[in-house]
Every structure is written in structure tokens, then in C-alpha cells.
Amino acid sequence: MKGVNISYKKFFTHADAEMGIGSLIIFIAMILVAGITASVMLQTMNKLQQQAMKTGEETLREVSSGVTVTQISGYTAGSYITQLAIFLTPTAASEDMDLTYAYVSLSDSNVKVILNYTNTCFSDTVSNGLFGTINASNLTSSTYGVLVIRDTDNSCSVATPTINDRDLVVLLVNTTKCFSGISPRAEIFGNIHPEYGINGVISFTAPGSFVDTIIDLQP
């Protein structure tokens, strides 16, 4: 009987040890799984935080930046407006705007054109009047020129026409190339799309007759 009791005691002792090792393995596995899960959660949270910050910065830039069309004048030749001068300035507290990345969409209800900046038609001074400084014949139905009116920090150059706070420039458009000229009572509309931020609005109706050579169209 004593031998049998000793045998049972050894059996139960070995069983307890095996259960303890199994529990330890499960415990270590749970720690590893928890660690991996926590690491994934931290990486995801960090990625979401960075994405949220980036989205917030981009949204703030889109809302706080942009351009404003302050005035549009036209040059008439015969019974058509052959050139447009679009006065453009950044909105208040706007970030720097590189016109190289800005484009103009313009339509007369029949034809729509998209115009991009060309460095072949640029002047940082008004030497021969609003419509005489730049040779508009060099402009095409897909390009606009830039005439600098006010640039206190000399940021607007032919290579990088960048405008910032209180700068004022004129975008020159050859409407003869775009629409074969603008006729009386024609409705013209469009936008100036900067690289980011609020668009400048173009919207006017040409007068019923052209008396003066230079006429104000907007506002």
C-alpha cells in the first residue's frame, strides 16, 4: 500500500508541474499578443494624428488663402474688345501665391478656354500704359501675361511670379485669340484658380456699344 501511495503522489506532482508550465506559456503568449496589439494601436493612432494634422493644415490654408479680382478693364478695337486686363490681389493674410501654378478659366457661353502663365509676356513696370506695355499679340488662346502694378518686396519676377500681402498684378488676356474678340452684350464668366485657396471670380456683361477705347467691365 505504501508503494502505491508514493506512486500516486509522484503522478499528481508531475501533473501539477505540467499544468503550471502550460499556464506560463499561455500567460507569455497573452503578453506577446497584448504587446503586439498595443504596438499596432499606437502606430495607427500616430498615423491618424499625423494625417489629421496634415488635413487640418491643408484645410486652414484652403480657407485662409486665395485671390480676389478687384477690377477688369477692356481694350476695344472697332466693335470688339480685343484685350482684357484683370486686376488681381491676394486675399487678406493669404500665403504666397506663385502664378506659375495658377490658371484662368474663361468662357463666352460658346467657347471655354484655359489659360496658363507665360514668361514671354511679363513686365515688372508699367512703361507704356495698361495695354501698351506688353505686346498682347504674343499671347495665345492658352496663355496670359502678367503686368506688375505693386510689389513691395520684389517677390514677383518673370521666373517665379509670386504675389503676397498687398501685391497687385494685372493678368492680360488676348480675347481675339480666345473668342475672336468680345462683342457688345456678350456675357463673360470664369475663375482664376490659384494653386490653393479661394478662386477669383470673373463675371461681366459687355456694354451695348463701345464708345471709349478703354472701358471698365467689372465691378
Query: Which tens digits make up the pLDDT trace of 139-180?
Result: 999 999 999 999 989 999 999 999 998 899 999 999 999 999
Taking CA atoms, 81 is separated from 72, 185, 218, in Å, by 12, 11, 14
Return the pLDDT at 119: 94
pLDDT over 50 (residue 23): yes
- DSSP labels for 120-137? EEEESS-SS-TTTSS-GG
* pLDDT mean across residues, the chain: 85
User: pTM for the complete prediction?
Assistant: 0.73
Report the C-alpha gap between 181 and 100 in whole angstroms. Answer: 26
Contacts for 63 with CB less than 8 Å, ≥ 6 apart: 197, 198
Return the pLDDT at 52: 64
pLDDT over 70 (residue 63): no
Cell numbers standing for residue 91? 486675399
pLDDT over 70 (residue 4): no
Taking CA atoms, 102 is separated from 5, 12, 199, in Å, by 94, 84, 10
Return the pLDDT at 40: 78
Cell numbers standing for residue 149? 502694378
Task: Name the pLDDT band for 196 (thresholds 50, 70, 90).
Answer: confident
Cell numbers standing for residue 198? 479661394
Report the C-alpha gap between 131 and 123 in whole angstroms. Answer: 12
Report the C-alpha gap between 145 and 1 in whole angstroms. Answer: 112
Reference 107, options 189, 163, 26, 50; nearest CA is: 189
| pLDDT (mean) for 84-112 | 93
